[in-house]
Structure 1
Amino acid sequence: MAEQRQIRFGILGCATVARNLARAISLAPNATISAVGGSTAEKATAFAAENECPATAKIYGGYDAVLDDPDVDAVYIALPTSLHVRWAVLAAQKKKHVLVEKPAALNVAELDRILAACEASGVQYMDATPWMHHPRTAKMKEFFSDPLRLGQLKSVHCNVSFSLNIHPGEKPDVDAVGALGDAGWHSISAILLTTDYDLPESVTAFPDPEVNEAGVILSCGASLKWQDGRVATFYCSSVADMAMDIFAYGIAGKLRVHDFVIPFAEQSAPFYTLESYRFIEHGVKADFPQDVLMVIEFCNLAGSGSAPEKKWAVISRKTQLVVDAVMASIQKGFETIKVVY
């Protein structure tokens, strides 16, 4: 068997969210950290030391130098959302594969610029949503797709909240999407998973979202509707207690899961279904934690030598479109917004 190629990562940004990915890259057999770029060299040095980056990892007080480093194959972008489009486009133009934190962009127009740059340069794109790469997610998707187990999907409800105090002081010029782009990204992508990424016809935001003094969203919700009568609702928050729930109901069965974003146990994750009037617990084991599995899959695609896999770009874009529709509904006094791909 041919030796597995290692993808050499440059990390852009030393925020807390980057710590998990630094660990994941270190644990993935086909990845290594080659460079760390911070807003200052001091921050990058401290990040590399605190996260046990390889001694060979280069330290840069800036991001351009990471993109210019010939020993970097791919970048993980952990910068504020407002900076994603600039650095992801530049990374793609420098022929670096792009793994970008969610939300991928402030809006779909920015995301389209990122995707166009990646396509033009022939580099792999993926947003960093680890739960999408857990084998449990594939097993749940099998259930949603089986007409004998779930039947026609009728309704979905999703709650995602993290009381992490991560948006109360946020400013619109840094991350205007707030909790909607974070917890809401998970909620919307979970709903779309249940529909095999069939976009809703319309979105209506719930009145009175919670915002900070600068107007950045701390919590909100919305309803989604499809032409065939399917409905979904979600609530997302960065100030409520932890919740990571999906409830999906069909005419033949239902599914529930209570830890879909971050499994309570790293290598074993259950979900529950009602099928033929029987409650069934499905335990799904994983060889690695889900963020490691995400890195492994990204590196397999980036190092395959084949054309980039476009599935992840399509999923990102559909998720971003619904995020944009919810934001538009809020800004327009909770009007119903049509979703157009």
Structure 2
Amino acid sequence: MAGEVKFGILSCANIARTLISAMKLLPEVKIHAIASRSLDKVQSFAAANDVPKETKLYGSYEELLDDDEVDALYVPLPTGLHVEWVLKAAAKKKHILIEKPPAHTVKELDVMLEALQKNGLQYMDGTMWMHHPRTHKMEAVLHDSSTIGRICEVHSTFNYSAEVAYRRKGGLSADVRGNPNLDGLGALGDIGWYCVRGILWAYDYEMPKSVTAHPGASYNEKGVIVSCGATFVWEDGRTATFTTSFNTGHVMKLLVVGVNGSLENDDFVLPARADRAGFKVVSNTSWKDVLGGWNRTEDVQEVTLEIPQEAHMVREFARLVASIRDGSGAVEPRWAEISRKTQVLLDAVKESIENGLKTIDV
């Protein structure tokens, strides 16, 4: 197909399976090549995941980067390897769709973004829920001042049991998320990233003035964060909080509170169903009387999907890449800017935790 975007996948990590399934749904995308650190591993991965037979399989990352037909890379490598391979990819003129968190610090992220900008390359992180049609519908509610009104508070939570999720590997300590050299931000980076992004999204990416971590952050035996939380405060008194943990059952909530009502979402990152997803808007609230309960209007809104949110994300990224390649468009800086703001706030949370819950000015 003349207009298709040819993707290379840099790693055979388990997370790559989801994106491969999404890519196969899109006629404008071709899975051109997959690389691993050995040919045997990538061949086994391709066989187990119904990878198209015409896909090239490389036994090293360097071989994939040397493939001039590759337009863009999906990079699901551990965070600790991102800087090295993104810089090498930028030198080879490959656009980057990267798993979150993109870096251990904003300083690392800036190195990557500078290299991509210098080479005229598109960047996007893998925060897939932002591309879900439900998210666009929620945005319309937040931007309608007559519904929930001026936003005053945002609260987000994302927890799951890492010991259960990675039991076959030997628990969290055997997974990259529990290794300080590979994914050193632990729960803060893996799932706290989504919570912080949800807060920024609700406040239209306006940065808070300060960040203060909550008491009780916990670590695994290797020194990686397994649970934490923080409060954000804006100049005008608006606030937000988040909590995240590897130690509980699944919780995935986003609550946006305005002067007239609220928006509530119980599965904002990964919808419970692939074909449809909803959220609730509560408005027109008032007391019936002192002891008689309260009145409210509940509007449950829902969207249906023909393709999953991951495919929507890949489609948007591929559209941007194709427009740059074909000369009809330019790099969209919004995605790098949003990613950097998220990373700045993660840095501030970690700094606050490590400095006795000190309030950090942003």
TM value normalised by structure 2? 0.90
Matched, 1:296 2:315: yes
Matched, 1:225 2:225: no
Deviation at 1:61, TM superposition (A): 1.6
What percent identity do the matched residue pairs reach?
Answer: 44
- Per the alignment, residue 316 of structure 1 pairs with 339
- Per the alignment, residue 76 of structure 1 pairs with 74
| 1:1-49 deviations in Å (ceiling 9; x for gaps) | xx77211111111111111111111112211111111122111111111
Rounded Cα–Cα distance in structure 2 between residues aligned with 1:30 and 1:110: 32
- Per the alignment, residue 133 of structure 1 pairs with 131
Q: How does 1:1-341 map to 2 (within 5 A)?
A: 5-165=3-163, 167-169=172-174, 170-276=178-284, 277-305=296-324, 306-339=329-362
Structure 1, unmatched stretches of 5+, are none
1:15 match: secondary structure: coil
2:212 match: secondary structure: strand
| 1:115-166 deviations in Å (ceiling 9; x for gaps) | 1111111111100111010011111112222221121111111110122335
2:247 match: secondary structure: coil
Equivalent position amino acid for 1:19 in 2: R
Rounded Cα–Cα distance in structure 2 between residues aligned with 1:147 and 1:327: 34
CA contact (8 A) 1:206 1:223 kept: yes
Rounded Cα–Cα distance in structure 2 between residues aligned with 1:55 and 1:310: 35
Rounded Cα–Cα distance in structure 1 between residues aligned with 2:88 and 2:342: 23
> RMSD in angstroms over aligned alpha carbons?
1.3
Equivalent position amino acid for 2:347 in 1: D
Rounded Cα–Cα distance in structure 1 between residues aligned with 2:306 and 2:335: 22
Rounded Cα–Cα distance in structure 1 between residues aligned with 2:198 and 2:46: 33
CA contact (8 A) 1:202 1:225 kept: yes
Q: CA 1:14/1:62 → structure 2, altered by over 3 Å: closer, same or farther?
A: same
1:90 match: secondary structure: helix
- Number of matched pairs: 337
| 1:280-324 deviations in Å (ceiling 9; x for gaps) | 011112231000110111101100131111111111001001111
Equivalent position amino acid for 1:127 in 2: D
1:98 match: secondary structure: strand
2:149 match: secondary structure: coil
Rounded Cα–Cα distance in structure 2 between residues aligned with 1:47 and 1:318: 35
1:168 match: secondary structure: helix
1:172 match: secondary structure: coil
2:162 match: secondary structure: coil
- Per the alignment, residue 292 of structure 2 pairs with none
CA contact (8 A) 1:29 1:296 kept: no
| 1:235-293 deviations in Å (ceiling 9; x for gaps) | 11223211110011110110100011111111211000012341101111223100011
Rounded Cα–Cα distance in structure 2 between residues aligned with 1:233 and 1:29: 41
Rounded Cα–Cα distance in structure 1 between residues aligned with 2:219 and 2:91: 36
Rounded Cα–Cα distance in structure 2 between residues aligned with 1:209 and 1:227: 26
CA contact (8 A) 1:28 1:293 kept: no
Rounded Cα–Cα distance in structure 2 between residues aligned with 1:271 and 1:212: 34
Rounded Cα–Cα distance in structure 2 between residues aligned with 1:215 and 1:189: 24
- Give the stretch that moved more between structures: 100-109 or 40-49: 40-49
Rounded Cα–Cα distance in structure 2 between residues aligned with 1:62 and 1:207: 44
Rounded Cα–Cα distance in structure 2 between residues aligned with 1:71 and 1:164: 38
Deviation at 1:176, TM superposition (A): 0.9
Equivalent position amino acid for 1:147 in 2: S
Structure 2, unmatched stretches of 5+, are 167-171, 285-295
Rounded Cα–Cα distance in structure 1 between residues aligned with 2:26 and 2:159: 28
Deviation at 1:326, TM superposition (A): 0.4
Rounded Cα–Cα distance in structure 2 between residues aligned with 1:238 and 1:7: 36
- Give the stretch that moved more between structures: 274-283 or 316-325: 274-283
Equivalent position amino acid for 2:348 in 1: A
Rounded Cα–Cα distance in structure 2 between residues aligned with 1:265 and 1:82: 32
Equivalent position amino acid for 2:173 in 1: P
CA contact (8 A) 1:102 1:129 kept: yes
Q: Which has the larger radius of gyration?
A: 2
